[in-house]
Amino acid sequence: MRSNSRRLRVFGTFGALALGLGTAGVLGAGDAAAASPAVTLIGPDQFFTAQVNGVTDGAAIKVLCAGPVSPSSTGHPIAGQTVSVSPVVDPTSKTGVGYTGASASRVVASFGTASSSNQAVVITAYGVAEPIPTSLNLPCGGTGEVGFVPNPTSSTAITALLPVTYVNEGLQKAR
């Protein structure tokens, strides 16, 4: 009788331990799922606004330009800058708002004129900041626009144009 009692205590302890670890594992998985926000994919017939470095108004792109700078000088964007789009449910104004149209499943951010060094940035989900490539050639100063183009396009798609200011960080660091 004594050995049966001891066996029950041992199995009971291991059973409680296994149950506790299993519960912790399930709770841990739930915590991880709760910590990561849901991603909303871009799809057809959706309005959106565009952001550069998290802002829609007063957006600036920092560019590193060395040496004397002329109006036609270009440089490369400093690392750590981003582009993104956010959904708009019912826009009161269409100014600065894009529309994915009948076909789009992504938005392509394009910088100035297309060239081999100015590749576009593909955005497939709302609220996900995509890095601006440091290989781009951008103006060392002045203003411009970043186009956020629904892709694939359709006759109902609307490109969002976001005005930006190019800031030469080479000049900022030299001061």
> Structural domain of residue 5, as residue ranges?
1-36
Q: Which two tokens stand for residue 40?
A: 């909303």
In this structure, the answer to whether residues 28 and 55 fall within a common structural domain is: no
If one counts the domains in the chain, the total is 2
In this structure, the answer to whether residues 82 and 118 fall within a common structural domain is: yes
Q: Which two tokens stand for residue 60?
A: 């600036």
pTM, entire model = 0.75
In this structure, the answer to whether residues 29 and 58 fall within a common structural domain is: no
In this structure, the answer to whether residues 17 and 82 fall within a common structural domain is: no
pLDDT tens sequence across 21-73: 444 444 445 555 556 678 899 999 999 999 999 999 999 999 999 888 888 89
Q: From CA 62, how far away is CA 140, in angstroms rounded?
A: 9
Q: What per-residue confidence (pLDDT) applies to 71?
A: 86
Share of the chain above pLDDT 70, in %: 73
In this structure, the answer to whether residues 29 and 82 fall within a common structural domain is: no
Question: What are the helix and strand counts (H, E) for the chain?
Answer: 2, 13
In this structure, the answer to whether residues 50 and 96 fall within a common structural domain is: yes
In this structure, the answer to whether residues 89 and 30 fall within a common structural domain is: no
Q: What per-residue confidence (pLDDT) applies to 3?
A: 53
pLDDT at 174 over 80: no
Is 165 exposed, middle or buried, given 0-12, 13-18 or 19+ CB atoms closer than 10 A? middle
In this structure, the answer to whether residues 80 and 5 fall within a common structural domain is: no
In this structure, the answer to whether residues 17 and 70 fall within a common structural domain is: no
In this structure, the answer to whether residues 49 and 130 fall within a common structural domain is: yes
